[in-house]
Amino acid sequence: MKKSKSNREEKMSEIQERLMNGTKEIYESGKWAEYISVMSKFPNYSINNCILIASQCPHASYVCGYKKWNEFNRNVVKGESGIMIFAPIKGKVEVEEPKFDERNQPVLNDDGTQSTERVTREYKSFRPCYVFDLSQTEGDPLPSLTTRLEAGVEDYEKLKEVLISISPVPVSFEEVPGSANGFYSPTEMRIVVQEGMPELQTIKTMLHEIAHATYGHGSKEDKWDKQSKEIQAESTAFWVAGMLGLDTGDYSFGYITGWSKDREVSELKENLELIKNTANELVTKIDEKLAELEAKQEMPEESETQIPVKKKSR
């Protein structure tokens, strides 16, 4: 049944308040401190090494060396191939150099030749080494700000069908490599969702990727940084889910907080109006499609056309 405008706006305001408060609570809990404590132990890689990692393992999430994984009580799975990067190495070497006095004038020997001295110089070089992604390891789970959504969804198949129909690009359900639940590819113009997930997690992930496609993330006109794009997509997913009567806070609040650059979640505040309008646009499309499906189901089946029987003349 279609909600009145006042009820709809009231529900939107409730969801907005819960979104802001929910992300704030993550910072105020011990969950954030634990997460940052562990994540800060992962090494930071140069832009060149990041490119090397992405080219060899596109789904890479958390990456470090073989021994470093042991510190997290995880081991590299036997048979996994390492991701090659270049590690800096420092060394020292003794060299013979010309000698100069305090006025920077060359010091000469008795025979007039340049005097030299033996000095130790440091140098930096690079050597290839191998790292491994989280997906290549096993052991204790890393702390996470998100909790997988395990709940079922009423009229799940119908809602899934509706989301596929309103998506700007085709949606498929496949095995997604790594730890991602899905992705939107702006180059291939398609959405892929991890198959076999619980119903609520599947719907939430579909909404997240549909939001990416709706915003045009990854297009030539895209002006947003990575943090803003992820916060826009997840906030929109949370908002739309809330309007549909689904609660994805256990996943969405942590996800949004994890992508934010600061404790104020400034990306969310700065884009709140855009997120609200996009969520409203998607909810309107979903409501219209659901109404269409319900109307079709309520239509009485056409009675069979009776073929008149010709009476034989006597």
**pLDDT reported for residue 1:** 43
273-289 pLDDT tens trace? 999 999 999 999 999 99
Q: If pLDDT is split at 50, 70 and 90, which confidence band does 34 have?
A: confident
CB distance 195 to 174 below 8 Å: yes
**pLDDT reported for residue 8:** 80
pLDDT at 303 over 60: no
Higher pLDDT, 121 or 303: 121
Nearest to 63 by CA among 48, 82, 77, 47: 82
**pLDDT reported for residue 178:** 76
116-133 and 137-139: which strand pairing? unpaired
- Residues in Cβ contact with 227 at an 8 Å cutoff, skipping those fewer than 6 apart: 259, 260, 261, 267
Q: If pLDDT is split at 50, 70 and 90, which confidence band does 4 have?
A: low
pLDDT at 138 over 80: yes
Q: What is the mean pLDDT of the chain?
A: 87
H-type alpha helices, 216-265:
226-243, 249-259
Q: If pLDDT is split at 50, 70 and 90, which confidence band does 312 have?
A: very low
**pLDDT reported for residue 82:** 94
Higher pLDDT, 29 or 281: 281
pLDDT at 305 over 50: no
**pLDDT reported for residue 301:** 56
Instruction: Tell me the torsion sign for CA atoms 39, 45, 49, 50.
Output: positive
Q: Is 41 exposed, middle or buried (0-12, 13-18, 19+ CB in 10 A)?
A: exposed
211-237 pLDDT tens trace? 999 999 999 989 999 999 999 999 999
H-type alpha helices, 29-74:
30-39, 47-56, 66-71
pLDDT at 311 over 60: no
Q: Please provide the DSSP assignment of 67-106 as one string.
A: HHHHHTTEEEPTTPPPEEEEEEEEEEEEEEEE-B-TTSPB
Neighbours of 78 (CB within 10 A): 6
Of 1-10, 63-72, 254-263, 302-311, the range with the lowest mean pLDDT is 302-311
CB distance 161 to 270 below 8 Å: no
**Integer Cα distance of 65 and 222 in angstroms:** 34
What share of the chain in percent tops pLDDT 90? 49
**pLDDT reported for residue 43:** 85
3 state DSSP class of 17: helix
**pLDDT reported for residue 126:** 85
159-201 pLDDT tens trace? 999 999 999 999 999 998 877 899 999 999 999 999 999 999 9
**Integer Cα distance of 185 and 240 in angstroms:** 21
Nearest to 131 by CA among 37, 222, 68, 77: 68
**pLDDT reported for residue 250:** 92
**Integer Cα distance of 278 and 271 in angstroms:** 11
H-type alpha helices, 100-173:
156-166
**Integer Cα distance of 53 and 45 in angstroms:** 9
Q: Is 139 left (phi over 0), alpha (psi -120 to 50) or beta?
A: left
pLDDT at 304 over 70: no
Neighbours of 135 (CB within 10 A): 18
CB distance 116 to 99 below 8 Å: yes
**Integer Cα distance of 59 and 61 in angstroms:** 6
Two tokens at 132?
């491994």
**pLDDT reported for residue 208:** 97
Of 54-58, 132-136, 159-163, the range with the lowest mean pLDDT is 54-58
